């Protein structure tokens, strides 16, 4: 056997011996590692399960109806010329807030001033004739007393005086008309609001019949928002409007904060049969101009407030074949399964109608290893940052919502369009 072949045989034999040793010692190594991990604090079925928990609390919970609306100016006016002529001056800046009566533009008044002067002169002429006719009537009256003139001549003079008096009144009416037409050469803002983009420039001829106009003025303070809600909410809406105007919030795009707070001013007098919705209009002060005409806005209407109901974080609610349940902490840091019925729920909190009392602690995390009677190690959800401490919520108007916790269950059948969607009782 050559040297090269001997080396190959020894190498193959060494590989076989190494493989056999690895197979023999691998199970013992795994057992050693498992035992070492157990000594270092690895998971054990007999050890308590770490969980986070928080206490159920009693709180006032507002009930909202959510919708999407469109902002619209309370008043919109296209300012047009009422007379024909050439624009000689524009005195506003685009985007300027103007008061009612502000002179926006001026039309050349020369021809209208001349027409006004003519009517004034005509009245002066007729007043002179009337004064002379009255003097003649006075003379004829004295002469008729002595039979110096006949009665027919006196009657004729009296009729002439009446005719000239009527002519003077006609002249005054012509003056008033000419003055009004002359005033139309000053194009003024009919309402207080904000001007838009200028639609015409200085030097252009305008006509009273033109539809283009000079500028569009919109009233932004206050402003209206139109939105629709399902017809199933009509009983709550009409009841709320009977008690007073319903508070409504215009929300930011993420729905977390309010752009402005207003009131529902009107509910449309009919339901749209094609969509099954009813249109509402809300009015907002819009002091900070957060709302703009044509803008899409998320709105929520406060229709009620549930007083002193039991509230838990939504993370604590679990669901199984028999419905919703929570894990409640017992004495001795053990958990028990408690079935609950929910009134309504959102991404943050759930309102519990039955099955839980305020002050009882519920588990919010660590459900995978929990069963009835499982021992747990509890940490506070507030300390872990999972649940924030509730802030005191002021009543929106001091009056709306009078139902207490004992009537919270009545909300279980509320329409799903509510701001906190209802959960059916198991």
In tens digits, the chain (426 residues) has pLDDT values of: 566 677 777 778 777 777 766 655 554 444 444 444 444 444 455 688 999 999 999 999 999 999 999 999 999 999 999 999 999 999 999 999 999 999 999 999 999 999 999 999 999 999 999 999 999 999 989 888 888 888 888 999 999 999 999 999 999 999 999 999 999 999 999 999 999 999 999 999 999 888 889 999 999 999 999 999 999 999 999 998 988 889 999 998 888 889 999 999 999 999 999 999 999 999 999 999 999 999 999 999 999 889 999 999 999 999 999 899 999 998 878 999 999 999 988 888 999 999 999 999 999 998 988 999 899 999 876 665 566 544 444 444 444 554 444 344 444 334 333 444 333 333
The predicted structure's pLDDT at residue 3? 66
d(CA 186, CA 107): 6
Q: Which of 284, 303, 300 is nearest to 241 (CA)?
A: 303
Is residue 187 exposed (0-12), middle (13-18) or buried (19+ Cβ within 10 Å)? buried
d(CA 155, CA 158): 5
Is residue 381 exposed (0-12), middle (13-18) or buried (19+ Cβ within 10 Å)? buried
**How do beta strands 296-313 and 403-404 pair?**
parallel
Cβ atoms of 115 and 136 within 8 Å: the answer is no
Cβ atoms of 300 and 63 within 8 Å: the answer is no
Residue in the structure block whose two tokens are 């009566």: 101
Beta strands in 244-295 (DSSP E): 247-251, 258-272, 277-284
d(CA 349, CA 364): 12
Q: Which of 106, 95, 73, 80 is nearest to 195 (CA)?
A: 95
Cβ atoms of 314 and 411 within 8 Å: the answer is no
Cβ atoms of 329 and 54 within 8 Å: the answer is no
- Residue ranges of the alpha helices (H) in 307-398? none
d(CA 62, CA 396): 9
Chain centre to alpha carbon of residue 378: 42
Please state the pTM of the whole predicted model.
0.67
Could you tell me which residues come within 8 angstroms of residue 267 by beta carbon, excluding any fewer than 6 positions away? 234, 237, 238, 241, 278, 279, 280
| CA distances from residue 157 to 47, 162, 169, 408 in whole angstroms, order as listed | 127, 9, 19, 92
CA-based end-to-end distance of the chain: 86
């Amino acid at each position: 056997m050559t040297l090269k072949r001997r080396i190959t045989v020894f190498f193959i034999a060494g590989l076989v011996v190494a493989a056999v040793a690895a197979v023999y010692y691998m199970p013992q190594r795994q057992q050693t590692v498992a035992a070492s991990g157990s000594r270092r604090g690895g998971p054990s079925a007999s050890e308590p399960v770490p969980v986070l928990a928080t206490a159920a609390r009693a709180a006032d919970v507002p009930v909202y109806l959510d919708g999407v609306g469109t902002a619209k100016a309370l008043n919109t006016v296209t300012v047009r010329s009422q007379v024909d002529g050439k624009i000689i001056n524009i005195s506003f800046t685009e985007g300027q807030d103007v008061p009612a009566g502000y002179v926006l533009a001026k039309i050349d008044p020369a021809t209208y001033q001349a027409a006004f002067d003519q009517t004034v002169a005509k009245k002066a002429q007729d007043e002179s004739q009337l004064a002379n006719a009255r003097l003649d009537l006075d003379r004829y009256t004295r002469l008729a007393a002595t039979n110096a003139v006949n009665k027919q001549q006196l009657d004729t003079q009296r009729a002439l005086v009446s005719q000239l008096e009527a002519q003077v009144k006609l002249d005054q009416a012509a003056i008033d008309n000419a003055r009004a037409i002359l005033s139309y050469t000053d194009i003024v803002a009919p309402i207080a609001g904000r001007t838009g983009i200028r639609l015409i420039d200085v030097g252009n001829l305008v006509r009273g019949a033109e539809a283009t106009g000079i500028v569009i003025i919109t009233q932004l303070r206050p402003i209206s928002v139109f939105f629709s809600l399902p017809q199933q909410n009509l009983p709550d809406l009409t009841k709320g409007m009977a008690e007073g105007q319903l508070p409504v919030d215009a929300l930011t795009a993420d729905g977390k904060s309010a752009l402005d707070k207003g009131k529902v001013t009107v509910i449309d007098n009919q339901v749209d049969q094609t969509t099954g919705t009813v249109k509402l209009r809300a009015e907002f002060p819009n002091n900070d101009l957060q709302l703009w005409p044509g803008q899409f806005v998320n709105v929520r209407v406060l229709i009620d407030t549930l007083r002193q109901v039991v509230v838990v974080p939504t993370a604590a609610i679990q669901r199984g074949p028999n419905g919703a349940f929570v894990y409640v902490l017992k004495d001795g840091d053990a958990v028990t399964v408690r079935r609950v019925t929910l009134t309504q729920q959102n991404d943050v909190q759930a309102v519990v109608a039955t099955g839980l009392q305020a002050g009882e602690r519920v588990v919010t995390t660590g459900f995978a290893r929990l069963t009835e009677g499982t021992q747990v190690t509890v940490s506070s959800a507030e300390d872990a940052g999972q649940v924030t401490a509730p802030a005191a919520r002021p009543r929106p108007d001091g009056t709306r919502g009078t139902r207490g916790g004992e009537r919270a269950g009545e909300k279980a059948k509320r329409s799903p369009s509510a701001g906190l969607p209802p959960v059916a009782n198991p």
